[in-house]
Amino acid sequence: MPSHYWDESLAERYRHFRYEFADRSLARRTVIIAGGTGGLGAATVALLAREGAEIVAGYRANHDRAEALRSAIEDQFDRQIVLVQGELTSADVRRSYLDAAERLAAERSAPLAGAAIFPGDPARVAFEALDRKTMEASLEANYVGPVLFAKEIGEAMERAAGGSLVLLASMQAVAAFPSSLNYGAPKAALAHAARILAQQWARVRVNVVAPGSTVAGMGGASAQAGKYDRYVEDGAIPRFGRPEDVARAVRFFLEPDNYTTGQVLVVDGGLTLRRDK
């Protein structure tokens, strides 16, 4: 018995090698980039602005940097971004993101299509200095805030037309690194939470991008200090990661017709695979 879901017209196109590849599919759609003014998030904002997306970009406290990004995006792409300030652990801040997205949807006919959640904290605490206070602070910043925000955005999109959520973890979420207990473990929990959320909804996809050693973002200080030089020198990675590498990975998952959910994409140049060779 033939499938009820078979599309013969589609099959006929493929027999003649006629394919459809989306172009600027996020134009006139709203995307939330929490942490969008940071080193990696800003590149994602620029990539989406170039495409014509309507963007709500958030930042924790650096108002001057946020305004500088707003001006740069307007100058380079003639796009206006909306800024939201505050910690994701605050329910009022999370509500402000959604309110801003709803206003854009109404004023610019740009429905909410997705969100990327960048905020976190490097939680650099020496092993011997770990205590309840430092571990709870890392858990709040790297797990609780992002997961609650993902839950709230996902619920909003599931009630509407669906969409895509991208959580930002770290290569330390998939591989054990020395002195990463306070950071790697919450990021690993975040990646597992994304899989659970991906099961939760029918019309919302949830995926994770896990950057490696990059020249921007939270990893920038380590790269600049030479912490990862040996991996370039011994050929484990060809270079340090760049913000554009992460932005392209996030954009892949944000594609409205993407067929992927519940996955972790490690953007590390192969470091976690080759670091012990």
- How far apart are the two ends of the chain, measured CA to CA in Å? 53
- Lookup: tokens for 40: 């990696």
- Other CB atoms closer than 10 Å to residue 260's CB: what's the count? 13
State what percent of residues in the chain have pLDDT above 90.
87
The mean pLDDT of 106-113, rounded to a whole number, is 96
> Among 8, 17, 21, which residue's Cα sits nearest to residue 252?
21
Q: Which residues are catalytic?
A: 183
Mean pLDDT of 85-106: 97
pTM for the full model? 0.95
Give the model's confidence band at 138: pLDDT under 50 very low, under 70 low, under 90 confident, else very high. Answer: very high
The pair phi, psi for residue 49, each rounded to 5°, is -65, -40
Closest Cα to residue 254, out of 87, 45, 59? 45
- Model confidence at 128, in pLDDT bands (50, 70, 90)? confident
Residue 8 phi/psi, 5° resolution? -70, -35
Torsions phi, psi of 56, nearest 5? Answer: -105, 115
Residue 3 clears pLDDT 90, i.e. is over it: yes
pLDDT at 227: 85
Q: Binning pLDDT at 50, 70 and 90, where does residue 124 land?
A: confident
Mean pLDDT for 235-261 is 96
pLDDT at 195 over 80: yes
15-30 mean pLDDT:
96
d(CA 165, CA 32): 9
